[in-house]
Each structure stands twice: as structure tokens, then as C-alpha cells.
């Protein structure tokens, strides 16, 4: 679709201007109205203007009319004291069209390709990469990587997506770093544990040994030895005990004898002194003799009981006292060694577990490396399979280069040339381009751009500042 009629009246300093569907170059000095023509077309299509004053000075009403070869007619009027007027119609249809209808027939870059040069580098790169026509979706990503990589903006073009997937600050790269760091740490633990283990350590062997059973045997022998030693002491001390019991008896006997003699002397003295109480004292004397016999009998019985008890105790040890003590030093050493070896089992098992973890981490890291390499190789495969939309365009590390240079390194003329070529690639239904300030290109480059637009069938209106005295319209 192209513009077949353009009429401007009373807007942006223009008294009257009209044109047919030819591509033209507007030449003239500054202030001649070249940019005003382009601004009027933009206003007709977008209902927007950066200018503070839209009406031409002295005019009460201004109008711009655009008609296309598809029957679309746009008429906008700016009026003083009245509401602005708009009409967007298409031949054969009664209903008025909306502003959104207009926005669907062109792109912003068509109306102002130079705007591309004012964008930040990231947006410029995005627009250039978006020109590469490669069909893909999340299913394609999943086929390539076996999953949808995290922390990636999938609203970008595929080359930016692939660059983010393999980037040093990307999830894959950082995850691989973490995996490798964890694997190194665990390998260090493995080496530390391995250095602490005895040479040719067999964890399975020592894990099977029943240390409790071994200590049970030792305790049984130790307890039996204690009883044997106790028996030997009991047998060896039997005669000593008997002599002790007899000595106790003799001491007690002597004490009884002495006490009896003392009592007798005292009584006899009392008898001599108190004859009248002899009878009483004699009775007491007779009783004293009986008491003596009773006490002696009790003392003797106590001796017999003690000797019988001791003989019984010694008798139960006599058999054991004849036995030899059993040496358990070898078993004790075996138990201590086993305890030491079993103490290594848990560390050994931990080392084995760490070794398994390291294997898994390395495998995971290798898988991620393969995905990173895949993300690095896919751009080359994609570029080899699609048509490059701009001459001299290459891609390196996700960044577009024009003749080997990033966009930021291009001259103003080279940027303008690039802007036009990008606008051509991104044109909408309306095949028309507005080129304000084309004088920034040299004659050869300007000619190449015009030929490109003609070959593409793109209508254009260009403004070029010249030394002419007034505005001239050159059909191209």
C-alpha cells in the first residue's frame, strides 16, 4: 500500500502543499518547510506532534489529507475555537476507522528511521537481531537443551536468548561454577579422609566385627579371674582367720576371768565387813558363777559359728583357687585394634558417599557444559540457515556487527544508512518511508539508499538541506 495523494494546508508553517504518489526529495535551506511536510504526514498518521504550535501562524484552521491506493483516506483538521476534526475511512465501508487501525499499517521506524540512531545500544542490537527471520518457540528450546533454561528473557530474539543461556553471568555458567566448586570441596574432603585411613583399610571387614561380643568375652574372663584371685586369698588367709577368732576368744575369756576375780574379792571383803549380809552375798556369788558359765558358753558358741561360716566360705573357693589365671592381653589388644578400625568405618562410608557426589556433580557439570557449548554453536547454525537481512551483518557473542563493527562504532552517515535499511526490513502494510535529514549521507550512499528503496518498491519522502533559495520538490 502506498500514498497516492498528499495535501497539507495551514499546518506547521505550510500555507499549501500537495503531492501525488511519487517518491520525492525535498530540497532547500533551513526553515524552508522540508521537515514540516514530513511532520504533517506523521501527524496525519499518528495524531501526535512534538511541535508546540501545529497551526500555521495567522491561520484559524489547518488540514492534512492522505489517500492511499487501497482506498484509505485520512483527514485531520486543527481548528481554533473548535474541536479538532478527524476522519479515517476506507472506500466501500461506511464506518469510521479507529486510531488503532492506522497504527497497524505502519511501524514507528518508517516514520522516523533516524530515531534508531538515538536508541540505546541494547535496543539497537535487539531491533537488528529481530530482523533475522528464524522460527522458534519454547518447544524448540526444549528440544535443544532438554529443558527450558531458567533466568532467561524469552521475549527477546533467539540470538539474544542463546547468548543469555551461555553467558558468563547466566544460570548455566553460574550453576556449573557452583557444581565445580562443590566437587572440588568434596574431593578435598575425600583426600583428607583417605589420608587419615590406615593403609589398605577394608571397611567391610571391620564393619562386620562384633566389638560388643569381643568385649563381652574379655569381661567374662576378667570377672572369673577376680573370683579366682578372691578364692586364692580366702584359702591363703583361712589359718589367719582361725587364729584371729581364737585370739578374740582368749581375750574375751581373760576379760571374764578378771571381772569374776574382781567381783569375788569385792564380795569377800564385803562379807568380812558385813557379816550380816553374808547370806545375800553368797546367793549373789552362786548366781555369779552361773552367769559366768552362761557367758562362756555363748562366747564359745559364737566362736564355733564364725569358724563354721568361714570354713563354708573357704570351701566354695577351694576348687577355683586351684585354677590358673587366664591371660586376656591378646584379646584386649584385638579389641582395642578393632575399636580403632571400626572408628574409621563411618569416615570411610562418608568418603565413599562424597566420591559418589563428586561423580554426580562432574556429570551434571559436563551436561551443563554441553548445553553452554550448544548455546554457543547454535547461533552459527541459525545464521547459516537463514538469510542475512542487512549487507555486512554478522553476529559475535550475541552482538550484531556491521562490517565487523558494533553499532556504537559507526559514523553518523553509516548509522543513517543502517537506520534506513532496518526501516525497510521492518516496514508495515504502508510501503512508505520518511527520511528527514538525508544530507548526512554522502551522494553515493544517498544514491544507494534511493535505489534500494525503489528496488523494494518502497515509496519515500526525503528532506535534504541544500543551498537552494527556497523549497524545491525533486521526484525520484
Q: 63 in a domain, yes or no? A: yes
Task: Answer whether residue 395 is part of any domain.
Answer: no
Bridge partner list, 76: 64, 86
Question: What does the DSSP assignment read for 66-130?
Answer: EEETTSEEEEEEEETTS--EEEEEETT--SPPPHHHHHTS--HHHH-TTHHHHS-HHHHHHHHHH
Same domain? 420 vs 300: no
Say what the pLDDT of residue 322 is: 83
Structural domain includes residue 136: no
Nearest to 56 by CA among 43, 45, 75, 73: 43
Residue 140 lies in a domain: no
Q: What is the pLDDT of residue 55?
A: 92
Domain final position from 298, 317, 336: 317
Question: What pLDDT digit, counting tens, does each position of 249-299 carry?
Answer: 888 888 888 888 888 887 777 767 777 666 766 777 778 788 888 888 888
Is the model's pLDDT at 367 over the cut of 90?
A: yes
Q: Based on the domain organization, do 118 and 11 belong to the same domain?
A: yes
Q: How far is 98 from 104, CA to CA, in rounded Å?
A: 10
Q: What is the mean pLDDT of residues 172-178?
A: 92
Assess if residue 469 is contained within a domain.
Answer: yes
Which pLDDT belongs to residue 265? 81
On whether both 411 and 307 belong to a single domain, the answer is no
Angle formed by the axes of helices 158-166 and 121-130, nearest 10°: 120
Which pLDDT score, from 0 to 100, does residue 130 have? 66
- The predicted-structure confidence for 76-88, as pLDDT tens digits, reads as follows 999 998 899 999 9
pLDDT per position as a tens digit, 224-235? 888 888 888 888
Q: Which domain covers residue 23, as residue numbers? A: 3-131+403-475
* Mean pLDDT in residue range 131-141: 83
Identify the domain boundary among 259, 282, 317: 317
**Over 80: is that where the pLDDT of 446 sits?**
yes
Residues 10 and 124 in one domain: yes
Cβ contacts of residue 360 below 8 Å, gap of 6+? none
Element spanning 475, H or E: strand 472-475
Q: How many independent structural domains does the chain possess? A: 2
What is the overall mean pLDDT for the chain?
Answer: 84
* pLDDT at position 426: 55
pLDDT value for 388: 66
Give me the mean pLDDT over the 22-50 stretch: 89
**What is the 8-class DSSP label of residue 150?**
S
Residue 365 lies in a domain: no
Residue 396 has pLDDT above 90, yes or no: no
Q: Is residue 209 scored above 90 in pLDDT?
A: no
With bands split at pLDDT 50, 70 and 90, how would you rate the model's confidence at 428?
A: low
At 117 the pLDDT is 66
Instruction: Let me know whether 121 and 9 are in one domain.
Output: yes
Q: What is the pLDDT of residue 9?
A: 94
- Residue 362 counted as domain residue: no
Among 109-113, 184-188, 258-262, the least confident range: 109-113
Q: What is the CATH number of the domain that holds 407?
A: 3.40.50.300
What pLDDT, on a 0 to 100 scale, did the predictor assign at position 212? 85
175-189, 396-410, 423-437: which has the highest mean pLDDT?
175-189
Give the HSE-up count for residue 186: Cα atoms under 13 Å, Cβ half-sphere. 19
pTM score of the predicted model: 0.51
Q: What percent of the chain has pLDDT over 90?
A: 20
Average confidence (pLDDT) over 338-366: 90
- Among the three residues 282, 300, 317, which one is the final residue of a domain in this structure? 317
**In sequence order, what DSSP letters do the residues of 10-71 get, joined into one string?**
EETTEEEEEE-SS-EEEEESTTSSHHHHHHHHHHHHHS--S-S--BPTT-SEEEEEEEETTS
Q: Are residues 8 and 126 in the same domain?
A: yes
Summarize pLDDT for 45-75 with one digit per residue, the tens.
889 888 888 899 889 999 999 999 889 999 9
Select the more confidently predicted residue: 115 or 250: 250
Per-residue pLDDT for 11 more than 90?
Answer: yes
Query: Is there a domain that residue 207 lies in?
Result: no
Which has more confidence, 287 or 13? 13
313 plus 414 within the same structural domain: no
Counting residues of the chain whose pLDDT is more than 70, the rounded percentage is 92
Q: What is the pLDDT of residue 239?
A: 77
Report residue 230 CA to chain centroid gap.
70
Residue 134 pLDDT > 70, yes or no?
yes
The answer for residues whose C-beta is within 8 angstroms of residue 276's C-beta and 6 or more apart is: none
Q: Where do we find the cell 495524531?
A: 47
Amino acid at each position: 500500500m502506498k500514498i497516492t495523494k498528499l495535501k497539507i494546508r495551514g499546518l506547521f508553517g505550510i500555507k499549501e502543499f500537495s503531492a501525488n504518489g511519487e517518491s520525492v526529495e525535498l530540497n532547500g535551506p533551513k526553515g524552508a518547510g522540508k521537515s514540516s511536510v514530513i511532520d504533517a504526514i506523521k501527524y496525519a498518521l499518528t495524531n501526535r506532534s512534538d511541535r508546540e504550535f501545529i497551526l500555521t501562524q495567522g491561520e484559524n484552521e489547518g488540514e492534512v489529507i492522505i489517500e492511499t491506493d487501497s482506498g484509505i483516506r485520512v483527514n485531520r483538521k486543527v481548528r481554533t475555537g473548535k474541536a479538532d476534526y478527524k476522519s479515517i475511512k476506507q472506500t466501500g465501508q461506511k464506518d469510521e476507522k479507529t486510531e488503532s487501525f492506522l497504527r497497524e499499517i505502519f511501524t514507528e521506524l518508517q516514520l522516523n528511521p533516524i530515531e534508531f540512531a538515538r536508541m540505546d545500544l541494547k535496543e539497537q542490537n535487539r531491533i537488528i537481531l529481530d530482523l533475522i527471520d528464524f522460527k522458534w518457540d519454547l518447544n524448540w528450546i526444549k528440544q535443544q537443551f532438554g529443558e527450558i533454561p531458567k533466568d532467561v528473557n524469552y521475549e527477546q530474539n533467539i540470538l539474544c536468548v542463546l547468548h543469555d543461556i551461555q553467558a558468563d553471568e547466566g544460570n548455566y555458567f553460574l550453576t556449573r561454577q557452583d557444581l565445580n566448586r562443590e566437587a572440588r570441596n568434596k574431593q578435598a574432603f575425600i583426600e583428607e579422609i583417605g589420608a587419615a585411613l590406615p593403609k589398605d583399610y577394608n571397611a567391610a571387614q571391620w564393619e562386620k566385627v562384633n566389638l560388643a561380643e569381643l568385649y563381652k568375652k574379655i569381661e567374662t574372663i576378667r570377672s572369673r579371674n577376680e573370683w579366682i584371685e578372691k578364692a586364692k586369698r580366702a584359702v591363703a588367709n583361712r589359718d589367719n582367720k582361725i587364729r584371729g577368732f581364737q585370739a578374740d576368744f582368749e581375750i574375751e575369756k581373760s576379760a571374764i576371768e578378771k571381772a569374776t576375780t574382781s567381783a569375788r574379792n569385792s564380795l569377800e571383803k564385803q562379807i568380812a565387813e558385813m557379816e550380816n549380809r553374808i547370806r545375800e552375798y553368797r546367793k549373789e556369788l552362786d548366781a555369779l558363777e552361773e552367769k559366768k558359765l552362761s557367758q562362756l558358753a555363748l562366747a564359745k558358741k559364737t566362736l564355733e559359728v564364725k569358724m563354721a561360716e568361714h570354713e563354708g566360705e573357704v570351701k566354695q573357693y577351694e576348687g577355683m583357687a586351684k585354677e590358673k589365671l587366664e591371660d586376656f592381653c591378646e584379646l584386649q589388644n584385638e579389641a582395642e585394634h578393632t575399636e580403632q578400625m571400626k572408628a574409621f568405618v563411618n569416615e570411610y562410608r562418608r568418603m565413599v558417599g562424597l566420591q559418589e557426589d563428586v561423580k554426580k556433580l562432574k556429570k551434571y557439570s559436563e551436561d551443563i557444559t554441553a548445553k553452554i557449548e550448544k548455546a554457543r554453536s547454535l547461533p552459527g547454525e541459525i545464521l547459516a540457515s537463514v538469510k542475512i537481512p542487512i549487507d555486512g551483518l554478522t553476529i559475535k557473542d550475541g552482538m550484531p556487527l556491521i562490517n565487523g563493527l558494533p553499532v556504537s562504532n559507526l559514523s553518523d552517515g553509516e548509522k543513517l544508512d543502517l537506520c534506513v535499511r532496518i526501516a525497510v526490513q521492518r516496514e508495515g502494510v504502508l510501503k512508505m518511508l520518511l527520511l528527514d535529514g538525508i544530507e548526512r549521507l554522502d551522494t553515493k550512499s544517498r544514491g544507494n539508499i534511493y535505489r534500494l528503496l525503489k528496488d523494494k518498491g518502497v515509496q519515500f519522502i526525503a528532506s535534504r538541506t541544500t543551498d537552494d533559495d527556497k523549497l524545491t520538490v525533486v521526484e525520484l
